[in-house]
Amino acid sequence: MKITWLGHAAFRLETAKATILIDPFFTGNPGFAGNDLKDAAKGVTHILLTHGHGDHVGDTAQIAKETGAVVLANADLATWLGQHHGLDKLEPGNTGGTISLGGFSTTFVNALHSSAHITSDGVSHSLGNANGLMLHFEDEPSLLHMGDTDIFSDMALINELHRPEIGLVPIGDRFTMGGAVAALACRRFFSFAKVIPCHYGTFPIIDQTADAFVEAMEGDAQNVAVPKSGESVEA
């Protein structure tokens, strides 16, 4: 599996049977600067969304229309994407549910966060629950994108049920757990073979580096990879 971090919480996963974008926030994302949207979206078969905030839904509608990718999201967000953006290749689900997508499956797991669309006049429209996404592949390592979340003790159940081998972990603080707490979550509740931090360095009000996370993970058997935006990690 080739995992490319594209800034903020956006990742591109390339496997033998699918090319997946998770939370494709590119336009207006300072962390995506220097990357090319056409390259990021090339050959995409699936778009997976953790929740409805604009810095996660991002360019979903444009990419889905241009590529024909299937979009997976919680039921409220999927309905909104259909009604407001005309998307029809949608796979709605909700917390605890698993959807088979051909070559891999995705389970909606819990995350402690909110999920809404904020209109230009400041009105907030709820878009269901925030989730983490647990991916199981036929011939690739299992992967957990935690979404936006704080630490919570039932992460232990996620690990017991799914045994994720790769963790994509938010560390930026203010809107998610910070680096030290994210490291505690990884060390106490998971046994990842590889961990990639995300949701940092994008905006001035969140942590700008992964240093606190890396320092707190020092000495742990879990392999921490900190790619630059646009760089890839093999797993």
- What's the pLDDT tens digit per position in 11-68? 999 999 999 999 999 999 999 999 999 999 999 999 999 999 999 999 999 999 999 9
| 185 pLDDT tier (thresholds 50, 70, 90) | very high
In the predicted model, what is the mean pLDDT of residues 165-183?
Answer: 98
- The alpha carbon of residue 125 and the mean position of all alpha carbons in its chain are separated, in whole angstroms, by 21
The pLDDT value recorded for residue 119 is 87
Instruction: For residues 72-76, give the mean pLDDT.
Output: 98
CATH of the domain at 171: 3.60.15.10
- Residue 121 confidence (pLDDT): 86
Instruction: Give the span between the Cα atoms of 25 and 8, in whole angstroms.
Output: 8
Q: How sure is the predictor about 197, in pLDDT bands with cuts at 50, 70 and 90?
A: very high
d(CA 142, CA 168): 11
Nearest to 40 by CA among 2, 80, 82: 2
Q: What is the pTM of this model?
A: 0.98
Q: How far apart are CA 23 and CA 148, in angstroms?
A: 11
- Does the residue 83 lie in any domain? yes
pLDDT for residue 64: 98
User: 29, 26, 34: which is closest to 66 by C-alpha?
Assistant: 26
What's the confidence (pLDDT) of residue 99?
A: 98
Tell me if 233 is assigned to some domain: no
What integer is the mean pLDDT of 179-183? 98
Is 187 within the bounds of a domain? yes
Q: What is the pLDDT of residues 82-99, one digit of tens each?
A: 999 999 999 999 999 999
Indicate if the pLDDT at residue 80 is higher than 90.
yes
* pLDDT per position as a tens digit, 96-149: 999 999 899 999 999 999 999 988 888 898 999 999 999 999 999 999 999 999
Q: What is the pLDDT at residue 130?
A: 98
Domain that holds residue 13: 2-227
Round to whole Å and give the CA distance between 214 and 127. 33
Name the domain count of the chain.
1
Mean pLDDT, residues 201-219 taken together: 97
Please give the angle made by the CA atoms of 5, 186 and 14, to the nearest 5 degrees: 30
Helix (H) or strand (E) holding 216: helix 211-216
The reply to whether 234 falls in a domain is no
pLDDT, mean of residues 67-75: 98
What pLDDT, on the 0 to 100 scale, is given for residue 120? 84
- Do 168 and 128 touch, CB atoms closer than 8 A? no
